[in-house]
């Protein structure tokens, strides 16, 4: 049995992925390509690579998946030992060719390329300031604002200019920057977005949004770049500058553990797979239910379902087969094809469902557009009962730091109570993991941004960006 499921619309949409390469040879572009391939889950709208041979910076970028944007012909001109790359999901700025990264600009100090994961909450003010100075902005992305501000800052070298301009940037920014002679990695002082450094087996170093991408390149001695740090890569040489002190209250994104990162990632020194398994264990303790089988909604919920099964003693099995390539194509099906069942996201395994009471583990409910159709699929496949368990609290507030959670009008938990959501999606019962149990599973008392659950933002935000209609219930931190 098959249904058209809009699951990508009912998830916090991926942020972006960045990669930086400094190697002895001239093949930085190929290494960046494989690094981006490992980060493809973080953004499927566009990709780009910029490379330097010590003099010029060359760039190739386009809309599409990494494998669609790059082939041997596209990579051939990108010769050099320094490279940066970006795979994009649009947060600030629409998905158009002019917003594709890296941004490369000519400056008085030579060429400069920049790729950005995150979102600035003061981007509008900074943009107006640049326009008042006569800057020619070509995109609607805050990443171009970062590049032009850096280019206009005085200093003896790029790291000195960065240290001067960073205090003006409010919000989330994990950056990779390329000049003619060096690659620079930068992380904001709140630590919102991940960024790690590793040593390449052939010599040189790489930085990436996730440790799994570094492992893909064979890196060893991987470490997280600290909040507020600038790391300069030149061949085998690594220099670290603590440009800003880390903020007293760190704001790592909890959703890296819940959904975004690949399970093989290490985030804040913690195995993402192990954290997800513990989230499931805590769910079983907080929301037990009599049932026959525990099933995950693929893929990020699979470790949590294993954890729920282990604590509850209810057998684990699979109920869904996910087509991982549906939703990653840029050819949209017609309404007629949709009605006929073409381009489907999930199929069900009816033999694992028929006559069973199910506990369905999922990572989140954002807009509420997916859970109802999934539950109908399970009932049509013969499920006797469907009990839904979610590995985080209800998402009731938008994100301003690089994650597309939707607006207040779109967030179902901002509009409805948990019993009302349960009735809306048609489950027999619904349980969300509480905030304290979620943090217990992560193993931290603080240091994380949970604003999408609580409305307590780690720094003041421009609330008008979230909604022009809904009132705001949260507290500005």
Q: Shortest CA distance to 413 belongs to which of 90, 4, 5, 10?
A: 10
How many Cβ atoms sit within 10 Å of the Cβ of residue 330? 10
Cα–Cα distance, 333 to 323 (Å, whole number): 15
Q: Which helix (H) or strand (E) holds 194?
A: none
Show the 3-state SS of 298-335: CCCCHHHHHHHHHHHCCEECCCEEECCCCCCCCCCCCH
Do residues 432 and 390 touch, judged by C-beta distance below 8 A?
yes
Residue the block writes with tokens 């604002």: 145
Neighbours of 461 (CB within 10 A): 23
CA distance 421 to 404: 21
Cα 164 to Cα 184: distance, rounded to the nearest angstrom: 15
Angle between helices 142-151 and 123-132 (to 10 degrees): 50
Q: Are 106 and 179 in contact (CB under 8 A)?
A: no
**Residues designated catalytic:** 16
Q: Which residues does residue 62 pair with via DSSP β-bridges, in sequence order?
A: 47
Q: Give the C-alpha distances (Å, rounded to integers) separating 153 from 113, 130, 147, 401.
A: 15, 12, 10, 24
299: preceding bond cis by omega (within 30 degrees) = yes
Comparing CA positions, the residue from 345, 347, 346, 356 lying closest to residue 379 is 356
- What number of other Cβ atoms are within 10 A of residue 193's Cβ? 27
């Amino acid at each position: 049995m098959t249904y058209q499921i809009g699951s990508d619309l009912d998830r916090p949409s991926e942020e972006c992925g960045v990669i930086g390469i400094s190697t002895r040879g001239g093949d930085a572009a190929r290494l960046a390509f494989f690094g981006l391939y490992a980060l493809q889950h973080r953004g499927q709208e566009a990709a780009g690579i910029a490379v330097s041979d010590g003099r010029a910076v060359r760039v190739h970028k386009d809309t599409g998946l990494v494998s669609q944007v790059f082939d041997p012909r596209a990579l051939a001109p990108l010769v050099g030992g320094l490279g940066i790359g970006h795979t994009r999901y649009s947060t600030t700025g629409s998905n158009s060719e002019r917003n594709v990264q890296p941004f490369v600009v000519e400056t008085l100090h030579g060429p400069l390329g920049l790729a950005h994961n995150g979102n600035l909450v003061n981007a509008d003010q900074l943009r107006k300031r640049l326009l008042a100075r006569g800057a020619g902005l070509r995109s609607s992305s805050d990443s171009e604002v970062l590049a032009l501000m850096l280019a206009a800052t005085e200093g003896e070298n790029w790291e000195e200019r960065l240290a001067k301009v960073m205090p003006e940037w409010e919000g989330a920014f994990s950056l990779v920057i390329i000049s003619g002679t060096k690659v620079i990695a930068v992380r904001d002082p709140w630590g919102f977005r991940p960024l790690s450094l590793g040593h390449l087996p052939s010599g040189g170093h790489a930085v990436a949004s996730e440790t799994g991408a570094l492992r893909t390149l064979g890196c060893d001695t991987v470490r997280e770049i600290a909040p507020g740090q600038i790391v300069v890569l030149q061949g085998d040489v690594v220099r670290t500058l603590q440009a800003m002190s880390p903020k007293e209250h760190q704001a790592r994104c909890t959703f890296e553990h819940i959904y975004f990162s690949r399970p093989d990632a290490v985030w804040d020194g913690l195995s993402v797979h192990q954290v997800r398994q513990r989230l499931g264990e805590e769910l079983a303790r907080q929301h037990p239910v009599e049932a026959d089988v525990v099933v995950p909604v693929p893929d990020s919920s699979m470790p949590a379902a294993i954890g729920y099964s282990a604590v509850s003693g209810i057998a684990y099995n699979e109920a869904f087969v996910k087509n991982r390539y549906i939703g990653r194509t840029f050819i949209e099906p017609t309404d007629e094809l949709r009605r006929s069942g073409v381009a489907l996201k999930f199929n069900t395994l009816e033999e694992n469902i028929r006559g069973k009471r199910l506990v369905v583990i999922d990572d989140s409910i954002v807009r509420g557009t997916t859970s109802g159709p999934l539950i109908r699929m399970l009932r049509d496949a013969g499920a006797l009962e469907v009990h839904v368990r979610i590995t985080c609290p209800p998402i009731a507030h938008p994100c301003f730091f690089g994650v597309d959670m939707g607006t207040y009008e779109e967030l179902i938990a901002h509009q409805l109570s948990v019993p009302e959501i349960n009735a809306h999606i048609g489950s027999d019962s619904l349980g969300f993991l509480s905030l304290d149990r979620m943090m217990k599973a992560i193993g931290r008392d603080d240091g994380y941004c949970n604003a999408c659950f609580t409305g307590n933002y780690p720094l003041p935000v421009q609330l008008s960006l979230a909604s022009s209609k809904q009132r705001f219930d949260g507290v500005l931190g």
